[in-house]
Structures are given as structure tokens and as C-alpha cells.
Amino acid sequence: MNTNKSGIVLLYIIAACSTFSARADLNFSNQQITHGPKHHLFGYIGQCQTIPWNASGRYILALEIDSIDQMPTTSDAATILLLDTTENYRPIPNSQTRAWNPQQGAMMYWNPQAAESQFLFNDRDPTSNKIFTVLHDMEGGPPGKRVREYRDEDRPVANSGVAQNGGWFMAINYGRLARLRPVTGYPEAYDWTRDNPAQPDDDGIFRINIQSGARELVASYARLADLIRPMRPDVDGIPLFINHTLWSRDDSLVYAFVRGGWHNAPKGQRRINVPISMRPDGSELAVHTQFIGGHPEWLNGHQVIGKVGKSQAIYDALKKEIVGQIGNDSTFVDPEGDISLSPDASWFVNGFHKNGANNYTLYRMRDGLTGTTPELTVGGRTSGDLRIDPAPTWNRESNAFLVPGLADDGTRQMFIVRFEAAQ
């Protein structure tokens, strides 16, 4: 990777018939915006408009950590930074969190109803190990302060997905995840279900009101098990978990995968991996027999994008049927990759691993203009708990996206991929 004097790495695209190339009217550039010796990351995929930039685009959220060679414990605090885009991405320390992991970060999300100054992130109490979500406000300029902590001493949960239009976030028990799916949990986090039945009736998906802090359990694991049992009679012996909850663009539906058997499962036990959808209040809870793999993303209304076979399929969550696809079966190298639809819904990006590196295929929704970036090195870290997933996250103008990668010094850093396309 050759860097010019401005710090921008030009990624030249050669027109060809391969899915690894782009047409001559779509070109990419890549700029590293954070630097060592410490590591920097944003976190999760840009599903459901998880956008690192604030409303005006001046600040980008980032985590700064000392080491990324092991899953973090309570003592491994990460510093939350604001990168000032008007001052060459100058890092401004903002707060700290003890609830993060290399794949998801701290589930940071700008508050849709105050996206210029307020953002949410997960944290945990260093004494009790109980997790919670923080609402931070930098009104008047950074660093700002915490204006609310959404704590519960009995059933501590934290953000797993913010309503795209604001007002609410769903929350889950990350202590349970640390036990059942470590890569997405917070190691050593308090888990009140550890000695409870496999499918407790006091844990599952919670809904929390951002303004009031009011919370309710909208879908318990016991209730989910009841729905799954007809297709998996062995469900009661396989503790269930949920990684994240995805709000539709109009906030009318929530989609998730209910899983079990990922970690320390007995030999021969089949995993459970069942899609569900529901209204945000838990009504109309439904299981789906059509599985769409990867990390699904909402398109519009009740349509979800995922993988079926070799296609980047479009699935109608109310009709419970495949209703179309993006591109064709050869457009995307890995339809099960990390996917994200731009805020204006004009572009779709699919990030995938190849040759131990991350790659990104960009697709223009109106006419199918397609191009794939050259490789962005991640040093072969494409599997395991410390992997560097492609995780593209869009800016608000829908003309660039943030990605992770390894810098020349071997540290994990943040990069912006920009592109130019024919009108």
C-alpha cells in the first residue's frame, strides 16, 4: 500500500469482467484517519444507520485502546474519542468505557433525536461488573458529560440496537453473551441467569425509553423457546442468546437471530439459529423458517437484505418470502459478508474477507453500477475473537464509509473509503 504525501492511499481500479473489478466510472480512495502507537476502532457494522459521524459531520466517534491481543476484561478501559474532521481528525478524549469488544466496540450510536451532540455507548461498573448504557452530551463543545446512565441492579442490560428515528433502544444481557458467545460479550460481566434455567423468563430482549429510562422485557427467552420448540424439541437443553437487535428504517419492526450452541457445546449438538421479527413492543412476535445468512440489513418497510444461496436476497419479513435480490448471483463475492445500506438508500456496500484481507463491493441501487476495492490489509485476522471484520459504516452524505484495517506499524486503525462515480 503506497501512501502519497497527503496521507491518502489511492486504490486504482482496473476495468474487467471479474467481480473484483470496477467499471472505469467508479473509483476509490482510502485515507487513514487514526494513528499509532495505540489502536483505534469504531465498532460494529453500519446496519440500521449506525453512523460514526455526528449530524453536522464534524466529529467521528472512535475508541482508543492500548492492546488488542486479548478479549478485554473489566480493567481494560477504552477511551472514547471524538475525531475532529476540521482539524485533520484531531483526537479529543471524551469519556471511558469498560464495556467493549474488538468486534462491536461499545455499541456507540448518535442519538437520532439529538445527533449533533448526543451519543449512546455501553459501559460497566468496575466494582459490580454490572453493565449499562450511557447517554453522553457534548452540547457546547467536547468533551461534554454523561447526562443519563440506564442502570438496573437486578437485571443489568445494555444497548443492542437503537431505533433509527430515535426514542428507544433495545437491550440485552451482555454477561450472558460473555458466557454463550464470548466474541460479542463483555468478559466477566455480571450475568443473573448463570444459575437459572436455560431459557429464563426474566431475560431476553428489553426495550428502554431514551428520554425517561423506562424499561420493559418485550420478549423473554422462555417465550422464544416456546416458539422454537416445535422445530427444535431439544431447545430446553440449549441456552439461547441474541447478538443484536435490528430496527427497521421506519422503526415498525425489529429483526434478530435467536441462537444457541455456539460456545462449549456438547459434541454432536446442532446449533440453533432462528430468525425472529416483532413489533418493538413485543407484539406479533414470529419465527421465520427462511434463514437469510450473514449480518442482515433493513432495506425499506418490512424488507430485509441477507444471503440466500449465492444471492444478496431481499426478504419480506411480513410476507415471509423472498421478494427479490440486489444484483445477481455473481455481483458479490460473499453475500454473507458485512453489509450496509447508505442513509439515502442509494448505495449498498458488502465487506468480505479474501486472502487474509478485507475487501468491499459497492453497488449503486438505481442502476447496478458496481465496483470492488483492492485489498485492505488486516494481517490475516479474519477469524477468532480478535478478528477484524470488514464492518463498513456510512457517513451521512452517503458518499464515503469508515472501515477498520492495519496500519504500516501493525496497529489497528480507522480508514475512510471515498469513491467517485458517474452520475
d(CA 197, CA 49): 35
CA distance 87 to 85: 5
For residues 293 and 420, what is the distance between their CA atoms, to the nearest angstrom?
30
- Hey, what amino acid is at 48? C
Distances (CA, A) of 11 to 31, 371, 408: 10, 12, 16
pLDDT for the residue 423: 67
pLDDT the model gives residue 6: 34
Nearest residue to 80 (alpha-carbon basis) of 56, 53, 101, 108: 108
**Chain-centre distance for alpha carbon 76:** 21
Q: If we measure between CA atoms, which residue out of 33, 27, 26 comes closest to residue 8?
A: 33
H/E stretch holding 225? helix 221-228
Q: Where would I find the beta strands (DSSP E) of 33-70?
A: 39-41, 59-65
In DSSP notation, 162-211 reads E-TTSSEEEEE-HHHHHHH-GGGS-TT---TTTTS-SS-SS-EEEEEETT
pLDDT at position 386 is 78
Contact 163, 207 (CB under 8 A): no
> 46-289 has which CATH code?
2.130.10
Query: What's the chain's length in residues?
Result: 423
The DSSP annotation for 265-303 comes to PPTTPPPEEEEEEE-TTSTT-EE-SS--EEEEEE-STTE
- Nearest by Cα to 207 from 120, 116, 282: 282
Strand partners, 286: 277
What is the H or E stretch that residue 226 is in?
Answer: helix 221-228
Q: Where are the domains of the chain?
A: 1-32+326-423, 46-289
pLDDT (tens place) for every residue of the chain, 423 residues total:
333 333 333 332 322 222 333 445 789 999 999 999 999 999 888 899 999 999 999 999 999 999 888 888 888 999 999 999 999 999 999 999 999 999 899 999 999 999 999 999 999 999 999 999 999 999 888 999 999 999 999 999 999 999 999 999 999 999 999 999 999 999 999 999 999 889 999 999 999 999 999 999 999 999 999 999 999 999 999 999 998 999 999 999 999 999 999 988 888 899 999 999 999 999 999 999 999 988 999 999 999 999 999 999 999 999 999 999 999 999 999 999 999 999 999 999 999 988 889 999 999 999 999 999 988 888 877 777 778 889 999 999 999 999 999 999 999 999 999 999 876
pTM of the model: 0.92
Q: Give the single-character DSSP code of 3.
A: B
Q: Which residues, other chains included, contact 317 with Cβ-Cβ below 8 Å and sequence gap of 6+?
A: 253, 255, 277, 288, 302, 303, 304
